[in-house]
A = this chain, B = another copy of it.
Amino acid sequence: MNVEGKPTRTISVGRDGVEIIDQTALPHAFVVRPLRALADVAHAIASMQVRGAPLIGATAAYGIWLAMRADPSDAALADARARLLATRPTAVNLRWALDVVAARLAPLPPDARAAAARAAADAIADEDVAINRAIGRHALPLIRDAAARRGRPPGEPIQVLTHCNAGWLATVDWGTALAGVYAAHDAGVPVHIWVDETRPRSQGAALTAWELGAHGVPHTVIVDNAGGHLMQRGQVDVVLVGTDRTTAAGDVVNKIGTYLKALAARDCGVPFYVAAPSPSIDWTIEDAGAAADIPIEERSPDEVTTVAGATAAGDSARVRVVPAGSAARNPGFDVTPARLVTGIITERGVAPASREGLAALFPERAAAVRAAAAKGAP
C-alpha cells in the first residue's frame, strides 16, 4: 500500500540483508531498519518491530536465509529454526514458514542452502501478497452486501469496524482483514473504518490508523470499550478482523478483545468476518471448542501498566497509568468460538466457520492432516 504516495512493502531485500518498517516507531516516526543477521531477525520478531502472523512468517523465513548466509551447516539450520520458533509462541504462521523453508533446505548440500533459503523466503512473501489480494477480492462483495442489508444507502460510506492491526503492516502487503477495505477504497467504494485502539499495545491506534491514513482511507479511532455501543446504535455495518490462528473447526484465536466484539456483533445482528489466509489455519485442531485449551501467550505486565506515545514536543515517551503497587496481567489473545463467526474469508473464498466449511475449501490440507493422524504422526 502507499506511504506518501509510494507503494511500499513491510519487508524487502536490501543491499546488506533484509529491510523492515520498524513498527515500534509508528505512528510517530517512519523508520526503515536493516536486519543483517539471525539475531536481528529474532529480536525484530520478539520485540514486535515486525508483528502480524503473515509478516512474522515471512520475516522468519528471511531469518533462515540470513542464518544460512553466515553458516549453512545442519547445526546452524536447526539452531536458527529453534531460535526463531521461540520468539512468539502463538502465531501458527511462524512454525509453518519455518517448516516450509527447513524442509526445502534439509536435503540440500550446505553450499546451496543460502540461495535456496532466499528463494523460499521470497516465495513466501510473494505468496502472502497473492493470498491477501485474493482475500480482498472475496471480501469486497461481503462488505457491500453487509451495508446494503443494513439499509445503508448507496454512496454513503460503508461502516466497517476492525480490531488490532490486520492491515498491510501485519502482512507483506494488502493486509488480511483490511485487504477488502483497500480493495473497496481503490475501487471507489466509499468506506469508513472504526479503528479499535487495541490496548495494551495500541496497534489499532498506532498502526491501523497510521496505515489507513497513509493510504488515504477515512477512519476514526475509538477505545476498545466503544465498539459495542456503536453497534447498538446502528453505526457499524460489518466487523472485519484478522487471526493469529484459526482451528480447522473454525474457532478463531486473535488479539485479546476480539471475542468481546464478536459477542456484540452477534447481539446487534452485525456480520462478523474473520480474514484467515490458509497458512494461519491450524489443521491439527479439528474438534469444535478445542481452541478453548490453546495456550495463550502471557506478555509483560509492563504493557498494561504503561502506555507508549509521543509528547507534545514529538518525543517518544512511556507513561505509567497504574499505581506503583498494583499488579497487572496481560494475556495477548483470546478465542472467538466459531458460533459467533459469520464467515471465514480465505484466499479461496468465504467458508462457514466450521470443520465442514473449511475442509470444503481446502480438502487437500484437511485430508493430509487426517492421513498423518491415522499414521500416528504428530
Q: Are B198 and A305 in contact (CB under 8 A)?
A: no
| Interface residue SS majority, chain A | mixed
User: Is A75 in the interface zone, CB < 8 Å from B?
Assistant: no
Scan residues 67-105 of chain A and give those whose CB is less than 8 A from a CB of chain B: none
Given contacts A224-B199, A224-B257, A263-B264, A321 and B307 within 8 Å (CB-CB): yes
CA distance A220 to B228 in the complex (A): 24
* Chain copies in complex: 2
Interface size class of A (residues with CB under 8 A): 35 or more
Partner of A213, one of B255, B323, B329: B323
A229 contacts the other chain (CB 8 A): yes
Mark A200-237 against chain B: 1 for CB-CB distance below 8 A, else 0: 10100110011011000001111111111110110000
A308 to B317, CA, bound (A): 11
Q: A325 contacts B223, CB within 8 Å?
A: no
Contact B257 A226 (CB under 8 A): yes
Contact status A205-B334, CB under 8 Å? no
A316 CB to closest chain B CB (Å) equals 8
Q: Could you mark each residue 307-332 of chain A with 1 if its beta carbon is under 8 Å from any beta carbon of chain B, else 0?
A: 11111100001111111011111110
12 contacts between A and B (CB under 8 A): A197-B304, A205-B322, A226-B329, A228-B263, A229-B331, A230-B331, A232-B259, A232-B292, A306-B309, A308-B321, A309-B319, A311-B320
A195-B326, A205-B322 known, 14 other contacts, Cβ within 8 Å: A27-B322, A197-B322, A205-B321, A219-B326, A219-B327, A220-B329, A221-B305, A225-B257, A225-B260, A226-B334, A230-B331, A232-B334, A308-B321, A312-B320
